[in-house]
Amino acid sequence: MTSPQVTPRVLRSSVLGLGVSRGLAEIRVYVRDVQAVCFGLALPVGLMLLFGTLFQGEVTGTHVPVRDLIVAGVCASAIMSVAFGSLGSAVAADMSDGTMKRILATPFPLASYFIAKVVQAAVLAFVDVGAVLLVAVLWFGFRLPVDPARWVTFAWVCAMGVAAACAMGFLVGSLIKDPKKSSGAIQFPFIFLQFLSGVYYSFRGLPSALQHVGALFPLKWMAQGMRAALLPDGMRSAEVAGSFELERSSAILLLWVCVLLPLCFWSVRRRIRGRS
C-alpha cells in the first residue's frame, strides 16, 4: 500500500492552515486578558483624543482640518504599534524563554509561526484602527469616505502596512537577547519614527534631511497611504510630491517585506543554533 504523496500545494495549505489556527488561538488567549485589551486600545484612542483636542486649524495650503490629518496618522501609528511594537516584544520573549526553540524542534514550520503572528497583529490592528475611527467620527465629527475606491486603498494600505511592520518587528525581536530590554529597543525607534514620518503633522513641514530619513521607513508611506484613503483630494497639495504617490507607497512597503522576510528566518535560525 503506497502512502499518499504530499504535494507542494498541500504543504503550502498546511503551513497556512497551521499559521491561521495558531494565530486565532493566540487571539482567543489575548482577549481573555481584559487588562491587556484595555491598555492596547487606550494608546491609539488616547492619542487621538489628545492630539485631536490640542491641534486646531487647517493644514497649510489646504482646507483640511489638522485633526483630520491626525486621524490618518494615528491609524497608521496604531498599525505600527501592534505589528512592530507588540509583535517584536512577543518574539523577543519567545526567543528568550525557549518557545521558539521548542517550535523548531517540532514539525510546526517557522513560516506558520510567522503567519500566526501576522494574523494576530492584523486582527488587533483592525480593532485599534476601528476604535480610532469611531472616536474620530463620534467625538470630532470626522467624515468617513463614501467612495468605494478609497476603502480599497484603505484595505491594501492596512494589509501591506501590517506585513511590513510585522517583518520589522519579527527581525528586531529576534535580535533582542534580553526581553527585559525589548521595551527600550523597540519603543524608542517607534517613537522616533512617528516624528520622522509626519504622523501628527504635515510631512512637508519637516526639514529636507529628516524627510529623506523618514522616507526610508514604512511608517511614512503607511501614513501617506492612509491620508490618500481617508482625506479629501485637497490634501494632495500638502504632500511633498504634490500627490499621494500610491504606486511608490505600495512598492516600498512590498520591498520592505521582501527584503526583511529572509533576514527574519535567517536571524531566528542563527539564534537558535547559537543557543543549542
In whole angstroms, what is the distance from residue 132 CA to residue 93 CA?
28
pTM: 0.89
Handedness of CA 239, 243, 249, 251 (dihedral sign): negative
Q: Which residues pair with 58 in a beta bridge?
A: 65
Could you tell me which residues come within 8 angstroms of residue 200 by beta carbon, excluding any fewer than 6 positions away?
51, 55, 69, 70, 73, 74, 194
Distance CA 217, CA 226 (A): 15
> How far apart (Å, rounded) are the C-alpha atoms in residues 222 and 193?
12
Read off the pLDDT of residues 105-127 as tens digits, 9 standing for 90 and up: 888 888 899 999 999 999 999 99
Count each helix (H run) and each strand (E run) in the chain, helices first: 11, 0
Distance CA 255, CA 218 (A): 10
- Provide the residue ranges of all domains of the chain, joining segments of one domain with +: 9-275
pLDDT in the model for residue 17: 87
Cell of 78: 496604531
CA-CA distance, 223 to 240, in Å (whole number)?
13
**Alpha helices (H) in 7-109, listed in sequence order:** 8-31, 34-54, 66-80, 87-96, 99-104
For residue 169, what pLDDT is reported? 93
pLDDT at 11: 43
Nearest-angstrom CA–CA distance, 260 and 27: 25
Closest CA to 86 of 166, 161, 21: 166
Helix then strand then coil, % of the chain, to nearest 5: 80, 0, 20
Determine the distance from the C-alpha atom of residue 100 to the mean position of all C-alpha atoms in its chain, rounded to a whole number: 22
Tell which residue, 157, 147, 164, has the closest CA to residue 223.
157
Segments in the chain below pLDDT 50:
1-8, 10-12
Residue 191 sits at the vertex; the CA angle it makes with 141 and 144, to the nearest 5 degrees, is 20
